[in-house]
Amino acid sequence: MSDSTDMASPEPTRASDQERHNTVERLRDACVDGRITLDEFSARTEIALRATTHAELATIVNDLPLATTSDDVGASQRATRRHMIAILGSSENRGRFRIGSRVNIIAAVGSCELDLREASITESHITIRVFTLVGSAEITVPEGIDVDMGGFSLLGSRSLHVSAEPLPGSPLITIKAYSILGSVEARSRSRRSRALRELDED
């Protein structure tokens, strides 16, 4: 004899604004710890802000610890990138690397390219000082990362091209650009991994 009473599946628990905020804070901590890159922070935060249930939020952070532990000390002491210099030549940094809280870029009759999309950071505020003399510097950040640019140009140019408003909880990248007969450009671009695209589609 079959049971005539159908057992209804429980409704998913709805996520609150505070829970979405807490998830973004956890993602920012993971970014500063070097567990996820700036691009991963940007992509996961966008998904977190759209999440409507606890299950969706849990999927975003299920590979991250609840808090930083003593095991993370070694990671924080790993070598960081703090200088880029190009004189009569070029210098390029892209891919996975760890960037310090203060970075100096010098391009004299040369060019420097710094791509931060797959970089991990050590602080939530990064300051990049750029000096170009008859040279150029280009800095690329993920979409949704907060970027501020200041400085001065003498017969040169400074430009900031970001395609979206900063995400809540985003790390801040401050660029101080000084250019003489040169150029400094900062722009945002997206590079989501296959895994993150699949996460976004779930």
Q: What is the pLDDT of residue 1?
A: 46
Asked whether 172 and 148 are in contact (CB, 8 A), the reply is yes
Model pTM score: 0.81
Asked whether 201 and 195 are in contact (CB, 8 A), the reply is no
Q: What is the pLDDT of residue 3?
A: 52
Q: Which residue has the tokens 């408003």?
A: 165
**Rounded to an integer, what distance in angstroms lies between the CA atom of residue 34 and that of residue 65?**
12
pLDDT in tens, 47-74: 999 999 999 999 999 999 886 554 554 4
**Rounded to an integer, what distance in angstroms lies between the CA atom of residue 25 and that of residue 36?**
13
Query: Taking residues 78-105, what's their average pLDDT?
Result: 90
Q: Which residue has the tokens 């057992």?
A: 7
Does the structure show a pLDDT above 70 at 200?
Answer: no
Does the structure show a pLDDT above 90 at 12?
Answer: no
174 CB-contact burial (10 Å; exposed 0-12 / middle 13-18 / buried 19+): middle
Q: In sequence order, which residues have a C-beta less than 8 Å from that of residue 46 and are 6 or more positions away?
A: 144, 167, 200
Does the structure show a pLDDT above 80 at 85?
Answer: yes
β-pairing, 183-189 vs 81-87, is unpaired
Distance of CA 19 to the CA centre of its chain: 21
Asked whether 82 and 61 are in contact (CB, 8 A), the reply is no
Q: Which of 168, 124, 145, 125 is nearest to 32 (CA)?
A: 124
Does the structure show a pLDDT above 80 at 201?
Answer: no
- In the three-class reduction of DSSP (H, G, I as helix; E, B as strand; rest coil), residue 160 is classed as strand
